[in-house]
Amino acid sequence: MKFQYIENFRDLAEYPCAYEEMTKGIIYRSGSPAYAPKEEIDGVLAMGIKSVIDLRGPYFWEAFPSPFSNVEGVEYYQINVPQGERFPTYEEDIPALYLSFLTDPYFIRGALRTIIYAKKPLLIHCEAGKDRTGVMSALLLLFNGVSRENIVADYMKSYDGRLSGTEERVRKNYAEAPYFMFHAHPDTFEKFLDMFFEKYSDLDGFFECSGLSESEIGCLMNLFGVQETSAGAVVFHEGKVLVEHMALGHYSMPKGHVEKMDKDLYDTARREIKEEVGLDAKILPGFETCSVYSPRPGHIKRVVWFMAEVEHENVVCQPEEVERVIFLSPADAMRVLTHDDDRRILTEACKAYFK
């Protein structure tokens, strides 16, 4: 979709990648929506946007508030990019500035985790949608195996006349703004990529510096893959937690894919508990969290977790999937669960349940 006032708006999933095909409608990029009329904001919302990551920085957050900051059903995140509100005097300095965006492991870890866990479709933007957004977009494309040639081409799309409104707005207050702010040379991003790989050698080197987990790295490398949704619950009975010993050998908690007959994700969670362990569960209000992982190349699974209670422990296992069901104290369940994400979910649920 093209917008007049939300400049540089486009889908990132436009290129061949490391797996079969990038899925469109997952991540969009753009310039600031703060100057757009209501019709264009409504147009973005009509696309189903569920999350917005605003990279503009404190000055613009305060001076030009985001129209998405208080929209029901939209998660709005502010991420302050290191050096993001500085702009170099000379075009030759831009590659080093771009690299400086990525040198703080705490920042990059937090930013990438926000991208992983944010509900999709997701819109990422800064002021013009070319520098901070351009570097973040390039990273996501790199992770998913998009060629260097196409990454540079995507960067250059920000300069094919898409920034006319931004340029006009800036020049009203800064008539001497350098030409390269709005019209870049392809070598600029080539040099940035050279500097990136000189510093980190390869993506493994970058991931090692970032401190991300193996599961998080897997999500980033399959971010534009087929999107799958599941729902599950941390199930309590008299202070104990239901743990399943799955037929595949790992220990987990009940969850499963959304089916057509499910009215909503609560329905999915209740149905899965009934199918897997034969218990009727009551979903408890006030708790919702998620886990995200890549079960196989080119696929991303988002599991929405709730909290539930059952009236007894008389389980009937689904033999194809569940070998055994046990109710354990939270401490013992934490020791038994196989995956780190499940332990995180249990920790969050216990804080809510026992508060």
CATH number of 137's domain: 3.90.190.10
pLDDT in tens, the chain (355 residues): 789 999 999 999 999 999 989 999 999 999 999 999 999 999 999 999 999 999 999 999 999 999 999 999 999 999 999 998 888 888 899 999 999 999 999 999 999 999 999 999 999 999 989 999 999 999 999 999 999 999 999 999 987 777 787 878 888 877 777 878 777 788 999 999 999 999 999 999 999 999 999 999 999 999 999 999 999 999 999 999 999 999 999 999 999 999 999 999 999 999 999 999 999 999 999 999 999 999 999 999 999 999 999 999 999 999 999 999 999 999 999 999 999 999 999 999 999 999 8
- Cβ atoms within 10 Å, residue 13: 20
294: domain range? Answer: 226-353
**What gap in Å lies between CA 326 and CA 315, rounded to an integer?**
9
Q: Which residue among 214, 242, 271 closes a domain?
A: 214
Closest CA to 328 of 319, 337, 341, 320: 337
**CATH number for the domain that contains residue 289:** 3.90.79.10
Q: Write the pLDDT tens digit of every residue in 215-236.
A: 999 999 999 999 999 999 999 9
Please state the pTM of the whole predicted model.
Answer: 0.92
**What gap in Å lies between CA 48 and CA 42, rounded to an integer?**
10
Checking 290-296 for CB contacts under 8 A at 24+ apart, the result is 290/117, 291/341, 291/342, 291/344, 291/345, 292/116, 292/117, 292/219, 293/215, 293/218, 293/219, 293/341, 294/215, 294/218, 294/219, 294/221, 294/222, 294/225, 295/228
Q: Which two tokens stand for residue 78?
A: 């502010």
Closest CA to 35 of 168, 154, 157, 220: 168
Q: Are residues 206 and 245 in the same domain?
A: no
Residue type, position 129, single letter? G
Give me the pLDDT at residue 268, please: 98
| Residue 180 counted as domain residue | yes
Give me the pLDDT at residue 27, please: 98
Give me the pLDDT at residue 183, please: 77
Q: Are residues 164 and 95 in the same domain?
A: yes
Q: Are residues 187 and 46 in the same domain?
A: yes
Give me the pLDDT at residue 43, please: 97
Q: Are residues 316 and 190 in the same domain?
A: no
Q: Are residues 141 and 240 in the same domain?
A: no
Give me the pLDDT at residue 99, please: 97
| Residue 221 counted as domain residue | no
Q: Are residues 209 and 231 in the same domain?
A: no
